[in-house]
């Protein structure tokens, strides 16, 4: 049974972010034998003065095969969240099995990318049958991002992978064939939509973060001075060419 597990609003300005915590959560659940090795995606929401957030207003969602009862996985995730609470945070957690994600969560996620939402809307949707949810803190506002993260991940067409087989273990200049062979990335595509041939070379800048497109991890690249590099990632000043 495939599970989606999303978290949000877990940090404060002086602590690790939601992305890193989500990867730690995935590792912990896997270590306990509760889920298979998970992939994790980051989902971006609207950045607006009326929305409280620490840095970028995004949530993170795990996708993995459940190796135990969903209630057991949820309780372990909640235990992990309670053990890693940060002062001033208002975290939210949502778990849903594949096939049990209502259209209302997808709609919430899409609107969260364009609108300022009221936290009460999240409270209401958290009671949807089939969902397992938890919120904490004075407002529990992270429930909106957690619900939205599950909704968006379930579409198979939103988010950027921050945890995926192989993407953090390789770097430098690689061919497309190298990237596909050593990671779970399925294709490398230019910013014009062209799928690159296997012998094309990519300067990864040590940053392989594919996007979720039609259910598959796709690495997006753009040409800079005739060199393929990850789309949106700039080379650090003073860094040596590889």
pLDDT (0 to 100) of residue 242 = 32
Q: Confidence band (pLDDT; 50, 70, 90) for 54?
A: low
Element (H, E) at 47: none
For residue 17, pLDDT over 90 is answered with: no
Distance CA 125, CA 131 (A): 9
Are the CB atoms for 32 and 12 separated by under 8 Å? Answer: no
Paired tokens of 221? 């690249």
Distance CA 84, CA 127 (A): 24
Q: Reply yes or no on domain 2-161 having CATH 3.30.70.2200.
A: yes
Name the nearest CA neighbour of 158 among 41, 46, 38.
41
The owner of tokens 């959560």 is 25
Q: What is the mean pLDDT of residues 68-96?
A: 93
For residue 55, pLDDT over 70 is answered with: no
For residue 239, pLDDT over 50 is answered with: no
Are the CB atoms for 177 and 185 separated by under 8 Å? Answer: no
Distance CA 188, CA 184 (A): 11
Are the CB atoms for 179 and 201 separated by under 8 Å? Answer: no
Q: How many Cα atoms sit within 13 Å of 89 on the Cβ side?
A: 28
For residue 56, pLDDT over 50 is answered with: yes
Domain range list for the chain = 2-161, 171-230
pLDDT in tens, 154-197: 999 999 999 999 999 999 999 999 999 999 999 999 999 999 99
Calculate what percentage of the chain has a pLDDT beyond 70.
90
Tell me the pTM. Answer: 0.92
Name the nearest CA neighbour of 66 among 42, 101, 37.
37
From the CB of residue 237, how many other CB atoms can be counted at a distance below 10 Å?
5
pLDDT in tens, 89-124: 889 999 999 999 999 999 999 999 999 888 899 999
């Amino acid at each position: 049974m495939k599970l989606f597990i999303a978290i949000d609003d877990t940090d404060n300005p002086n602590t690790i972010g939601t992305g890193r915590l989500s990867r730690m959560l995935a590792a912990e659940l896997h270590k306990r034998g509760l889920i298979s090795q998970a992939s994790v995606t980051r989902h971006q929401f609207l950045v607006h003065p009326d929305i409280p957030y620490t840095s970028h207003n995004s949530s993170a969602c795990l996708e993995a095969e459940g190796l135990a009862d969903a209630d057991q996985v949820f309780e372990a995730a909640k235990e992990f969240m309670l053990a890693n609470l940060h002062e001033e945070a208002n975290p939210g957690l949502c778990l849903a099995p594949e096939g049990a994600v209502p259209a209302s969560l997808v709609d919430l996620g899409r609107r969260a990318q364009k609108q300022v939402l009221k936290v009460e809307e999240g409270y209401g949707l958290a009671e949807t049958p089939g969902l397992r949810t938890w919120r904490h803190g004075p407002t529990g506002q992270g429930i909106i991002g957690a619900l939205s993260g599950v909704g968006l991940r379930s579409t198979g067409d939103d988010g950027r992978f921050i945890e995926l087989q192989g993407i953090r273990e390789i770097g430098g200049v690689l061919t497309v064939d190298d990237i596909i062979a050593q990671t779970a990335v399925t294709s490398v595509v230019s910013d014009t939509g062209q799928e690159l041939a296997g012998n094309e070379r990519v300067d990864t800048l040590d940053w392989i973060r594919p996007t979720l497109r039609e259910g598959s991890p796709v690495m997006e690249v753009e040409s800079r001075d005739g060199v393929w590099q990850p789309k949106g990632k700039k080379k650090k000043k003073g860094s040596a060419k590889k």
